[in-house]
Amino acid sequence: MSVRRVGALLGKELAHGPRNFMFVFAILVPLVLTVVLSLLFGNLLSGKPKLGVVDQGASRLVALAEEVDSILVRTYDSTDALRGAVRAGAVDMGVVLPGTFDDVVMRGDLAQLTAYVWGESLLKDRIVLGSAIASLVRKVAGQDAPVEIVTATVGDGESVPWDRRIVPFVVLMAIILGGSMIPATSLVDEKVKRTLTALTITPASAGEVFLAKGLVGFIISVFVGIFTLVLNQSFGTKPGLLVLIMVMSAMLAAAFGVLLGVVMKDINTLFATIKGTGILIYAPAILYLFPGIPDWVGRIFPTFYMVDPVVEVTQRGGGWAEVTPELAILAVLIAAMMGLVMVVSRRRQMVPA
């Protein structure tokens, strides 16, 4: 094993990488996904009912509605626009406030309100919006509630908002795309183009080629993984520990990528494998979306030991002590995967297709 040759191969991979689709894909997808998901879970999938308002005057109700945490408010210029939004499901309910609405309410006269309800809106959303509108009208009228509501939180659970639940998925995708897909596609591509044969008749050994390919995936994986954590505002707590987790996760992903590249004879088979096994790889992150599912289910999957330490550190406030058992298992998995790569590549004698 020559460090110089591995370095030369690595340099070549990094220099030519940006021209490779998978290279760009592995870097861009987690970043784009982070932005898209933050938009989606920030508003669209928040679980809050959406109220559309057309204010034909200057009602205080709109400003008061925007202060209510449990509903989302969107304003529209015309009744037609509001009706279109309700019909499309952009809002669950829409109300048109006449120009004199506040005056009528404050005088205590009977106020008229037109409410459009989206046919597919949930009953509970209609209830929440209905009571919110009633409450807002009472506030505009200056009424004081006849009851004081005293709230208390019981139990020791934790509410995990969707934008946080999705972080493990995005981080795992960053690690797998960079760590596994880059070496795998690169190796298969070289096999198909027969440049791998050309490489192995140079002084470079098969092991050096694999190591160089794996290192590219490893570097991209660590870089994109950390960048994804930063983008998701999850890197601030214990950066040293998180870097270690990223490094170990990227090692396992890169070893898996090299294994795929060694075993798969063409790109069709490679993508068929990814298609079929993708759900197994991402299962722990998908399970994390549903906190009610028991923890042991996720532990069946090897990628759990990449995801769980990230969740432990970034969301549960854990430290070295809490993640050490999972990292120990991850280390065993890395060793096993590397051993498997060596055995398989020796058996196949790295014969290109």
Residues of span 215-254 touching another protein by CB under 8 A: none
28 makes contact with another protein (CB under 8 A): no
- Report yes or no: 246 and 172 within 8 Å, Cβ to Cβ: no
**Residues 35 to 64: which contact another protein by CB under 8 A?**
40, 44-45, 47-48, 50
Q: Is 165 in the site for another protein (CB under 8 A)?
A: no
Would you give the distance in Å from CA 66 to the centre of its chain?
Answer: 28
Min CB(31)–another protein separation in Å: 14
The C-alpha atoms of residue 201 and residue 206 are separated, in whole angstroms, by: 10
| 82 contacts: CB under 8 Å, gap ≥ 6 | 52, 53, 54, 76, 91, 94, 96, 116
185 or 249: whose CB is closer to another protein?
A: 185
Binding flag, residue 337, another protein (CB under 8 A): no
Q: Are 138 and 132 in contact (CB under 8 A)?
A: no
Helix (H) or strand (E) holding 30: helix 21-39
For another protein, the closer of residues 163 and 312 by Cβ is 163
Nearest distance from C-beta of residue 63 to another protein, angstroms: 16
Pick from 146, 203, 240, 294 the residue near another protein by CB under 8 A: 146
Q: Which of 110, 122, 119, 74 is nearest to 95 (CA)?
A: 74
Instruction: Quote the least distance from Cβ 344 to another protein, whole Å.
Output: 14
Q: Is 276 in the site for another protein (CB under 8 A)?
A: yes
Show the tokens assigned to 82. Answer: 């509001």
- Residue of the chain from 128, 220, 262, 350 that contacts another protein (CB under 8 A): 128
Nearest residue (CB) to another protein, 4 versus 124: 124
In the bound complex, what is the minimum distance in angstroms from residue 277's beta carbon to another protein?
Answer: 8
Q: Which is nearer to another protein, 3 or 149 (CB)?
A: 149
287 membership: H or E segment, kind and range: helix 267-288
Site for another protein in 281-300 (CB under 8 A): 291
User: Smallest distance, Å, CB 248 to another protein?
Assistant: 28
- Candidates 1, 3, 15, 110; binder of another protein (CB under 8 A) is 110
Question: CA dist 334 to 145, 228, 306, Å?
Answer: 62, 22, 11
Say which residue the tokens 């669950």 belong to: 92
179 C-beta neighbours (distance < 10 Å), count: 33
Task: Please select the residue that binds another protein; options are 66, 80, 109, 295, rule is CB under 8 A.
Answer: 109
Subset of residues 63 to 102 that bind another protein, contact rule: CB under 8 A: 68-71, 83, 85-91
Asked whether position 197 contacts another protein by CB under 8 A, the answer is no
Write the burial class of residue 152 (CB in 10 Å: 0-12 exposed, 13-18 middle, 19+ buried).
exposed
**Between residues 135 and 315, which has the closer beta carbon with respect to another protein?**
135
